[in-house]
Amino acid sequence: MKKPTKVNGSAEQTIASITTPLIKDLLEKEKLKTAKEQGLVKLPNLVGMTTAAAQKGMTNKGLIPVVLGSGEKVQAQSLAAGNQVTLHNRVFLLTGGQVKMPDLTGWSQADVSRLAQVLGLKLESSGGGFVNKQNLKKDSVVKPGQTLRVTYQDRGSVTAKK
């Protein structure tokens, strides 16, 4: 390499014009590598299965089943069969009958939002991060139209529960 004869701007700007695209490229490659390591799984059709069989199948695929209802068979699932989902994703299994509120401690805002939508709840939230408080107590019977209030805070102060 030869010493540049024409430099437009300071040395910092010249170096930045070379290193910035390189760093962006490396970060993008790392992001793709991380996405591949997380993995995707194809969601099976769980409708009609017993809750025990559906839960076992989901757990074996690396997913987190959340059974909603007191029925013994899956009547509906929150994500359609055939969809690609990331590992450790929560999938709600509706079984009919009486629905009890799960413990939301450590849940993400996206999971809580999907739960509220599936159960027909009004959602009020404050803070950011992961759930650390909920107004509808664990195992209380839930009815559509109720208001679910949750408070979020950063992961460092919440113990995640699956």
Q: What is the pLDDT of residue 160?
A: 47
Closest C-alpha among 98, 93, 94, 125 to residue 112:
125
Mean pLDDT split into 10-residue runs, the chain, 162 residues: 64 74 77 62 91 92 92 92 88 94 94 94 93 94 95 69 46
Q: What is the pLDDT of residue 162?
A: 45
Q: What is the pLDDT of residue 32?
A: 59
Q: What is the pLDDT of residue 85?
A: 86
Q: What is the pLDDT of residue 50?
A: 95
Its pTM stands at 0.69
Q: What is the pLDDT of residue 103?
A: 95
Closest C-alpha among 125, 132, 121 to residue 157:
132
Retrieve residue 155's tokens.
């992961």
Q: What is the pLDDT of residue 121?
A: 95
CB 100 within 8 A of CB 139: yes
Closest C-alpha among 122, 46, 123, 30 to residue 78:
46
